Chain A
Amino acid sequence: MEKEILEEGLNHNRRKFLSRLSLGVGSLALGSLLIPDLFSGKSEAEEAMMHALPHFAPKAKRVIYLFQNGAPSQLESFDYKPELIKRMGEELPESIRGTQRLTGMTAGQSSFPLVGSNYKFDQYGESRAWISEVFPHTAGIVDDICIVKSMHTDAINHDPALTFFQTGAQVGNRPSMGSWLSYGLGSENSNLPAFSVLLSRGRGNGQGVYSKLWSNGFLDATHQGVQFSNSEDPVLYLKDPENMSRSERRKMIDQIAAMNDLSMKQFNDPEISAKVKQYEMAYRMQTAVPEMTDVSKEPESIIKLYGPDCLVPGTYAANCLLARKLSESGVRFVQLYHQGWDQHGNLPNEMRLQAEDVDQASAALITDLKQRGLLDETLVIWGGEFGRTNYCQGKIQVDNYGRDHHPRAFSIWMAGGGVKSGMVYGETDEFGYNITENPVHVHDFQATMLHLMGIDHERMTYKHLGRRYRLTDVSGHVVKDLIA
């Protein structure tokens, strides 16, 4: 008999078992006299924390993140540097470059000739923000957005920088922003995943995106990002096989749930209940997804707003439209990735094409949310993983140059959801190389985003492998200046 009891004990998920055991002892004996959760693993303390979310009144309910993968050049978009045009071809002064490490692509270069934007800039809106000619639609909504010119990051290559932006750490295995929000705030609409991912590819030099960027990391699998594909089935494997009726499907799910419940009783592994929840959601998604992705009822003005490309599945414009529809349906975090912004060479030509693909639809999304009264509660973010160098990669040619990766200063924009509108924040030196005013680190950006969603970034934590993790790791400050 004793052997059976022992086995039963060992069969429990080890961590869950230990945390339960310790919690029992802890609460029985020491109560609140000691550090309240000294002995508890996660469970109850964590649970109590979760019930208290959001920590304060949120300004935004949802996020749409238009990630420009590959790092669009700030110098050809929002950070106007006439000085670089004047100094075209001159060497980047040592004093400006300082100790900045370079990528392997330009570290061996004997010369770092400065290169100015090939595009014209002009000032727009009441904020008189400078925007380049390849973003005419963005210029049209400039008073609805807040341009941050003083972003900086730790990483210098795509994968670590992307991972850093999305998960707060350069190495993989941490939960993505969307997963954190799903964990913290849950889904508004329980028929759709709280975290959805949409991919598109432009005509410029591309960099890969991989599912680790929308991974749930150590969080429960229900918080993983669900990728919507551009095929006939937006969510793969969601359709019932031919000749299977809804009621049959229902029965099957109920049976599986009953079996899973049995295993849950036996093993007590939280992954099992996560699985049950996922089956349930998939069942409800079977009706919710086709309804949501249907563009046939969109009025014609919407198609003109986003551009006719929005009817071609898989384009950035179509994804922006879909993002609006997902967000409108209560999806907490919609993550877009648009590839093709890695202009190491041929920048003047490629970036124009890239901008052409994203400019109209990005601006359209803002206008569209606005005219539905949803912009106030939806935070939209546009930006890449780092910036690009002010010097040319390779040799400068007339009207042709490239730029390498630059983590020290780059530009993004945000709109809606409690962000100040019509503002340009932060400043860089006349070389566009270093930040001179109001730097915003990636962790500050993440802290600010969480703040807008009503979450204190220092308090939303998850205990894993003996330490508490948070999206902003161990740093980050809310940038209050950005908040309306």
Chain B
Amino acid sequence: MIKISSIRSILENTLFIWIGLTLIITLAGNALVLPDWLQVVGRSHPILLHFPIVLLLMGLLFFWIPGIDKKPEIREIGEISFLAGCNFAGITVIAGLILAQEEYTGEILTWHKWGGLAVFVGCVLLYFFRSIKANLIRFSSIALALAIIATGHWGAGLTHGEDFLLAPIQTDEIEVIPLAEAEIFGDVVQPILQAKCVSCHKEGKIKGELRMDHIKGLQKGGKSGPFVLAGDFEKSLLIQRINLPEDDKKHMPPKNKAQLTDEELLILSEWVASGASFDQKLVTLPPKNELFQLASVKFEGNKIYSFEAADPEAIDELNTSFRSVMPLFPESPALDVSYFGISAFQPKSLTDLKKVKDQVVRFSLNKMPLAGIDLKFLKDFTHLEELQLNFTDLDAEQLKIVSELKSLEVLAISGNVIDNSSLQNLSKMNGLKKLFIWQTGLSSQDKESIQKALPDTEIDFGFDGKGIIYELNSPIISQDKMIYEDSLEISISHPIKTAEIRYTLDGTEPDSISSPIYSKPIFTKKTGKIIAKAYAKDWKSSKGSESVFIHSGFKPSESSLAFDPNPKYKAAGVATLFDSEKADPPNHGQKWLGFQDDPMVLEVSFEQESKPTEVSISLLYNEGAHIFPPSKVTIQGLENGKWQLLASNSPEVSAKAAPARTELMNMNLGSSSYEKLKITLTPLSSLPKWHPFAGDKGWVFVDEVIFNK
């Protein structure tokens, strides 16, 4: 059976082997040429390292057990584990030194390497001097524990990347560079060099006499020649080296090191092709440029603002039903303010915005009535970039204030009058990227002059419609009723305010010279038809719109129908004929009386002494639905107990089907000495030959019978 003491002595002796090997590898360093099998030992470093960490820390812990000196058995466990830890530390250090020959470089490696060596040496010393003063031991044990942790951390940094450990609790705020500010070199090219080249071409390790950690070094070049020459792939060593086959000794980055990706290769080549500038902005490249397209995806199209966000409560308070105040996006301190509702606009509310004057970057007051309002407050908005003031009745004074806003990039003042002095002021706004001045009364010379004054500003003059001639819409005629009793007001309107409306009341087409111009509502006491047309400069005159108005001077005191209308189309019976309501064509069943088998025979009498002499009958024609003009209309008057024919009419049978329409049939009686009138409308007995239902009976539809004198 092996005694513990003999294990201990073996372990103490092996320690010296590790110390010796460590010394050799450390001192010989790069001169060593490692056989392959040693690489395997080296690569076992990440596995081995766990043993010393655990064993050493456990051993160190034992120094802290109270009264440990009086318990040799327990002390022994601690010492053995510490000794074993020292051995493993030695093996790990050796493996680590071998591994370091492979592909690791950099500052962390240095720290890790010397930290590991220090831990190893420290442990060995502590082990052999473990019996000196307990306090000193305890102090050194803390130092050693810290060194172990630090070394382990650096090592982890090498394997997993520098920020591996704390990454989950670190805020992942990456500084996002806005596209507008990104530089080709600083923000696109340099990060690639930093990641793939700088570790060997930097202060303290200037391989090939080329320093890539600052611009001067790049401009100077290395021992073999210039680093880059604008546009010259042949002479730019950067391009040469990165494009050599990977096995070539001169290929960069060297074999075994992280290689450039295809995209990075392309970016570097395009950078040289585009001039290898060190200070050009990305946005100055044409959008179709490949470098621009490759690089622009890396940047947010949004500007990042450095100012403080406003108090969220203040922002909440500023949001009302007529004003919205919103961050550009949730984390952004920049605010976008819009006003809505013309009638709700209160000029005073503009002063509330003082609380966020530093944060407002976009401000829209489109259509708000700003006439006479002092806009000086806008000058306090130091970060205002976009201002929308379309259709706000601005005067020259207000425009002057606007034109003095230095931070503005986008200005929309369409729909305001720009006079000469305002034009001068606006022409000085050379910081503007976009200017919208549609509908501002500028002449073509004005437009040229401002575009000349602001060559870099995208100016939108909008659409003025000049030279385009369209036909005007017909005017809209409105009247309360078609059939009226006393007098009627007719008004005519047109959506285009400048349009001139001319009309006639006699059924003739209006013309642009002699027909009266409509200016105010027309009053009439007659029956007739109004035709109105609109005329305007730069427009073709409209088609005429028409409207019929019917004066109904008499209402019969008594009325009756000899035959009932067809039960399907009886509306409200005979009263329908005198309700002064003109029915719409499609409303057959509701407002029209329909007759087919029987004629309409209407008898009416009047109270008045003087009887009507004119009868108008409102009829519906719709041949497709079998509704035709009556074959015959007669009006008889009862005079001295005898029916006398006063008027008759035989309308022509329709020759083809036409859409539903109404017709007013006027008849003159020639006599007023009757007691009663009998009006007879006879439906067509058989539909004409052209009709699909030729031979069937026709219908007569009547909705109104009107009497006048």
Question: Which A residues fall within an 8 A CB radius of B?
Answer: 51-59, 188-192, 284, 287-288, 291, 295-297, 299-301, 303-305, 307-309, 311-312, 328-330, 364, 367-368, 370-374, 418, 454, 480, 484
* Alpha-carbon separation in the docked complex, A368 to B439 (Å): 11
Nearest CB of chain A from residue B401's CB, rounded to whole Å? 19
Q: Do A299 and B439 touch (CB < 8 A)?
A: yes
Q: Do A311 and B330 touch (CB < 8 A)?
A: no
Name the B residues within 8 Å of A371 (CB-CB): 414, 436, 438-439, 460-463
Main secondary structure of the interface of A (DSSP, over half): loop
B301 contacts the other chain (CB 8 A): yes
* Alpha-carbon separation in the docked complex, A330 to B326 (Å): 13
Point out the residue from B301, B344, B390 that lies within 8 Å of A59, measured CB to CB: B301
Residue in chain B with minimal CB distance to A295: B495
* Alpha-carbon separation in the docked complex, A370 to B463 (Å): 10
Take A57-B329, A191-B321, A373-B388 as given contacts and tell me if A312 and B473 are in contact as well, using a CB distance cutoff of 8 Å. Answer: yes
Nearest CB of chain B from residue A421's CB, rounded to whole Å? 11
Q: Do A372 and B366 touch (CB < 8 A)?
A: yes
Binds A, one of B111-119, B334-342, B559-567: B334-342
Name the B residues within 8 Å of A418 (CB-CB): 301
1/0 contact trace for B650-690 toward A, CB 8 Å? 00000000000000000000000000000000000000000
What is the count of residue pairs linking A and B with beta-carbon distances less than 8 angstroms?
A: 114
* Alpha-carbon separation in the docked complex, A233 to B4 (Å): 102
Given A57-B300, A305-B463, 13 more pairs with CB closer than 8 A:
A57-B328, A57-B332, A191-B341, A191-B344, A288-B340, A300-B498, A312-B473, A330-B324, A367-B462, A370-B460, A372-B388, A372-B412, A372-B436
Binds A, one of B205-213, B464-472, B515-523: B464-472
Residue in chain B with minimal CB distance to A375: B460
* Alpha-carbon separation in the docked complex, A373 to B495 (Å): 26
Q: Do B414 and A304 touch (CB < 8 A)?
A: no
Chain B residues numbered 351-395 whose CB sits less than 8 Å from any CB in chain A: 366-367, 388, 390-391
Main secondary structure of the interface of B (DSSP, over half): loop
Counting from the closest, the 10 A-B pairs by CB-CB distance are: A371-B462, A304-B465, A373-B412, A371-B438, A301-B465, A57-B329, A311-B495, A373-B436, A189-B340, A57-B302
Nearest CB of chain B from residue A18's CB, rounded to whole Å? 30
Take A57-B300, A301-B465 as given contacts and tell me if A330 and B340 are in contact as well, using a CB distance cutoff of 8 Å. Answer: yes
* Alpha-carbon separation in the docked complex, A189 to B367 (Å): 14
Q: Do A308 and B470 touch (CB < 8 A)?
A: yes
Name the A residues within 8 Å of B473 (CB-CB): 308-309, 311-312
Residue in chain A with minimal CB distance to B362: A377
* Alpha-carbon separation in the docked complex, A329 to B684 (Å): 59
Nearest CB of chain B from residue A191's CB, rounded to whole Å? 6
1/0 contact trace for B272-307 toward A, CB 8 Å? 000000000000000000000000010011100000
Name the A residues within 8 Å of B460 (CB-CB): 370-371, 373
Q: Do A301 and B463 touch (CB < 8 A)?
A: yes
Q: Do A54 and B366 touch (CB < 8 A)?
A: no
**In this complex, which of B297, B434, B465, B472 has the most chain A Cβ atoms within 10 angstroms of its Cβ?**
B465
Q: Do A373 and B463 touch (CB < 8 A)?
A: no
B71 contacts the other chain (CB 8 A): no
1/0 contact trace for B457-498 toward A, CB 8 Å? 000111111001011110000000000000000000001111
* Alpha-carbon separation in the docked complex, A191 to B343 (Å): 12
Q: Do B338 and A188 touch (CB < 8 A)?
A: yes
**Count of B interface residues, CB-CB < 8 Å:** 46
Name the B residues within 8 Å of A374 (CB-CB): 388, 412
Name the A residues within 8 Å of B465 (CB-CB): 300-301, 303-305
B42 contacts the other chain (CB 8 A): no
Q: Do B439 and A311 touch (CB < 8 A)?
A: no
1/0 contact trace for B405-419 toward A, CB 8 Å? 000001010110000
Q: Do A373 and B414 touch (CB < 8 A)?
A: yes
Q: Do A188 and B495 touch (CB < 8 A)?
A: no
Q: Do B415 and A328 touch (CB < 8 A)?
A: no
Nearest CB of chain B from residue A8's CB, rounded to whole Å? 33
B322 contacts the other chain (CB 8 A): yes
* Alpha-carbon separation in the docked complex, A308 to B321 (Å): 34
Name the A residues within 8 Å of B367 (CB-CB): 328
Name the B residues within 8 Å of A305 (CB-CB): 463, 465
Name the B residues within 8 Å of A484 (CB-CB): 301
Residue in chain A with minimal CB distance to B366: A328
Name the B residues within 8 Å of A299 (CB-CB): 415, 439
Name the B residues within 8 Å of A188 (CB-CB): 324, 326, 338, 340
Take A296-B497, A301-B465 as given contacts and tell me if A291 and B436 are in contact as well, using a CB distance cutoff of 8 Å. Answer: no
Take A58-B329, A372-B390, A373-B460 as given contacts and tell me if A300 and B495 are in contact as well, using a CB distance cutoff of 8 Å. Answer: no
* Alpha-carbon separation in the docked complex, A328 to B340 (Å): 9
Nearest CB of chain B from residue A373's CB, rounded to whole Å? 3
Q: Do B410 and A373 touch (CB < 8 A)?
A: yes
User: 26 A-B contacts, Cβ less than 8 Å apart?
Assistant: A51-B330, A56-B329, A57-B301, A57-B302, A188-B324, A188-B326, A189-B324, A191-B341, A192-B340, A296-B497, A299-B415, A301-B464, A303-B465, A303-B495, A304-B465, A311-B495, A312-B473, A328-B366, A330-B338, A367-B463, A372-B388, A372-B436, A372-B438, A373-B388, A373-B414, A454-B329
